């Protein structure tokens, strides 16, 4: 049984390492900042996920007690990856894209990042989000 878990843990580590590597390679290989964003936001999640799963199985079988910290790390990564992706995308839109280059919203308003009036979200956020533009 030990052998089976050793193989499982090793396989997960190799898979995790592979996807981490591909994610970093994508960062170098892809042509422009927007496409480069796709490497780290995805391949990195599975890369880290594989390593964490391996760690969980290792400590549950070989260690003293099962550890649940890995679940928490997975949760935090899944929560933060989209937010960082969004922040980088917004910064890139500010730096390199104009209103004419982006497709129109189709709702009669601008994209929030390139807007020149104060945010609708600053006061009474939810209700106005629901009402305006309907």
Partner 1 sequence: MSRLFPHPILSALLVVTWLLLVNDFRWGSLVFGMILGLVIPLFIKPYWPYRSTLKSLPKYASYMLLVFWDIIVANIQVARIVLFKPNSQLKPAWIVIPLDIRTPEAITVLAGTITLTPGTVSCDLSECGHALLVHCLHAPDPAAVVADIKTRYESRLKEIFA
Phi, psi dihedrals of residue 50, rounded to the nearest 5°: -60, -45
What are the residues binding partner 1 (CB under 8 A)? Answer: 19, 22, 25-26, 29-32, 34-35, 37-39, 41-43, 45-46, 49, 67-69, 71-72, 75, 78-79, 81-82, 85-86, 89-90, 93, 102-113, 115, 117, 119-120, 124-127, 129-130, 132-134
Task: Please answer whether residues 13 and 51 qualify as being in contact, where contact means their C-beta atoms are separated by less than 8 angstroms.
Answer: yes
The nearest distance, CB 131 to partner 1, in angstroms, is: 9
Task: Please answer whether residues 77 and 48 qualify as being in contact, where contact means their C-beta atoms are separated by less than 8 angstroms.
Answer: yes
Q: Tell me how far apart the terminal alpha carbons of the chain are, to the nearest angstrom.
A: 61
The nearest distance, CB 53 to partner 1, in angstroms, is: 11
The nearest distance, CB 1 to partner 1, in angstroms, is: 25
- Looking at the Cβ atoms of 9 and 47, the one nearer to partner 1 is 47
């Amino acid at each position: 049984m030990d052998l089976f878990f050793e193989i499982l843990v090793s396989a997960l580590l190799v898979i995790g390492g592979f996807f981490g590597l591909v994610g970093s390679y994508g960062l170098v290989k892809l042509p422009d900042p927007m496409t480069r964003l796709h490497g780290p936001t995805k391949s990195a999640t599975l890369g880290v996920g594989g390593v964490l799963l391996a760690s969980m199985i290792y400590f549950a079988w070989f260690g003293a007690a099962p550890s649940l910290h890995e679940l928490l790390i997975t949760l935090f990564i899944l929560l933060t990856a989209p937010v960082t992706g969004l922040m980088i995308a917004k910064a890139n839109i500010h730096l390199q894209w104009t209103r004419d280059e982006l497709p129109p919203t189709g709702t009669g308003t601008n994209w929030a990042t390139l807007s020149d009036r104060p945010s609708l979200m600053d006061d009474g956020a939810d209700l106005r989000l629901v009402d305006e533009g309907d």
